[in-house]
Amino acid sequence: MTHHETPTPAGTSTGTADAAPPGGPAAVARVTSRDVARAAGVSQAAVSLVLGDKWRGRVSPAKAEAVRTAARELGYRPNLAARSLRMGRTRTALLVVPALTTEFFARVYTGAARAAADHGFGVVLYPSPEGIGPARDPFDSAAAALDGVIASSMAAGALAALRDAGLPLVMLDSDPGDDRATATVNLDIADGARQLAAHLTALGHRRITHLAADVDSWTFALRARAVTEALADVPGTLLRRQPAALTVESGLHAAHAALTAPGPRPTALLCDDDIIAAGACKAVRRLGLRIPEDISVTGFDDLALAVAIEPELTTVRLPAEEFGEAGMRALMAVLDGARPEAPTLPVELIPRGSTAPPPADADNAARPGGE
């Protein structure tokens, strides 16, 4: 995790005026742009270009990274008050997330804040009290208080108040076809779902129940489609779907329903989230079954929870910090009048102990306690 430096209040930071203000504490050594230039091995002009995000085509990427690294390590803080007056900006971005119940969104914030600091911006984190949407405008006048908004994993139409303020809006983990967003940055969620399906079928599983997040959002609809399409190509596969809210308790109940439904029980539970998967693991054990000998379980996200349960959870790792960084870089590009990149970041299957080939007698496995 990267520590985010909070911008120093106006009148005490440095930038356009590197020297300490008159009457300031003389004993405190202040890092200047000259110090950053010396540490990075570049000119002060190059430091100004990089920290002002005007370096492209004028400073090499390697030197730009050296400047950003030196600035972070030295604790350099530009004079944000003077720069804001000059540029007509508040140098503040809003990051809206559905909730703070998992570390995924905390890691998105860490990445976004790190990228923002490279541009002399601060980030306000705002969890929507209604989950995926709608998000209330947390300021009396968002347009006056903010330069732009990044929204992670929010439902379409959830940010009407912020859109109406006329602010640049970068959407993360959202429908790239939504023209209400200024830019969209995504993870390759569909590929993650396909990797999970391929992992299970390669192990020999043919009866798979998808514990699908009962959330009306683009990302979960995409997972459902990707799982369906991937398993449709495997002969003899029976896919069922059981909805579950994003809680351990709901995962437990959904898995219990799936495992005790009439007919042969599934040999694998493919869960939309590690939290749902944790509940599924509890249900499996309460029914007297074993993981992975009787039932394989998979998750999604690779939260800390994934290695806290036993056996550890096979899941899909999402590069959350890189995701937040990419979103902030896209917003900075928009604010500078450039065409923002709209990358799709790769995800990675992490096989662990919760998955294995189905039992040899799986073809005749009846529901626990059933006929």
- Specify the pLDDT at position 371: 35
Same domain, 256 and 337: no
- What pLDDT sits at residue 18? 41
Band of the pLDDT at 79, cuts 50, 70, 90? low
Q: Are residues 39 and 138 in the same domain?
A: no
Measure Cα distances from 318 to 105, 273, 302, 322, 349 in Å: 11, 11, 7, 9, 9
- Per-residue model confidence (pLDDT) at position 155: 56
Assess contact for 14 and 77: CB atoms under 8 A. Answer: yes
* 256 shares a domain with 112: no
Domain co-membership, 76 together with 111: no
Determine what percent of the chain is predicted with pLDDT higher than 90.
49
Instruction: State how many domains the chain has.
Output: 3
In a domain, 313, yes or no: yes
Q: Residue 238's pLDDT is what? A: 95
Q: Are residues 227 and 360 in the same domain?
A: yes
Rounded (10°) angle between helices 189-203 and 218-232: 30
369 lies in some domain: no
Question: Would the pLDDT of 254 be above 90?
Answer: yes
Residues 111, 223, single domain; the answer is no
| Cα angle 291-307-348, degrees, rounded to a multiple of 5 | 95
Q: Are residues 156 and 244 in the same domain?
A: no
Instruction: Say if 125 falls within a structural domain.
Output: yes
The answer to whether the beta carbons of residues 127 and 18 sit under 8 Å apart is no
**Domain housing 217:** 189-318+351-364
Selected residue with higher pLDDT from 240 and 37:
240
SS3 116: helix
Q: What 3-state class would DSSP assign to 45?
A: helix
State the Cα–Cα distance between residues 303 and 310, nearest whole angstrom: 14
* Residue 156: pLDDT over 70: no
Q: Which residues are 269's β-sheet partners?
A: 209, 297
Segment among 38-42, 141-145, 305-309 with least mean pLDDT:
141-145
CATH code: domain of residue 284: 3.40.50.2300
What is the predicted pLDDT for the residue at 151? 87
Strand partners, 212: 243
Q: How far apart are CA 54 and CA 59, in angstroms?
A: 9
Q: Is residue 371 part of a domain?
A: no
pLDDT at 177: 82
d(CA 254, CA 328): 37
**Domain end (from 58, 88, 118):** 88
Which of the four pLDDT bands, split at 50, 70 and 90, describes residue 355? very high
Query: Which of these three, 52, 72, 88, is where a domain ends?
Result: 88
- CA atoms within 13 A of residue 36's CA, in its CB half-sphere: 32
d(CA 190, CA 188) in angstroms, rounded, equals: 6
CB environment 325-348: b (16+ within 10 A), e (fewer): bbbbbbbbbbbeeeebeebebebe
User: 285 and 216: one domain?
Assistant: yes
Task: Report residue 219: phi and psi, to 5°.
Answer: -65, -40
Confidence category of residue 190, pLDDT binned at 50, 70, 90: very high
Whether pLDDT at 338 is above 70: yes
Say if residue 276 is in the same domain as residue 151.
no
Residues 176, 208 share a domain: no
Out of 64-68, 98-102, 169-173, 337-341, which region has the weakest mean confidence (pLDDT)? 98-102
Predicted pLDDT at 298: 98
Question: Residue 362's pLDDT band (boundaries 50, 70, 90)?
Answer: low
* End residue of a domain, out of 65, 88, 111: 88
Sequence length of the chain is 371
263 versus 14: the higher-pLDDT residue is 263
What gap in Å lies between CA 242 and CA 352, rounded to an integer? 23
**Residue labelled with tokens 């109940």:** 253
Domain membership of residue 342 (yes or no) is: yes
User: How many CA atoms lie within 13 Å of 273's alpha carbon, on the beta-carbon side?
Assistant: 24
Verify that 160 and 253 share a domain, yes or no: no
Inter-residue contact 91 to 8 (CB < 8 Å):
no
Q: Are residues 66 and 25 in the same domain?
A: yes
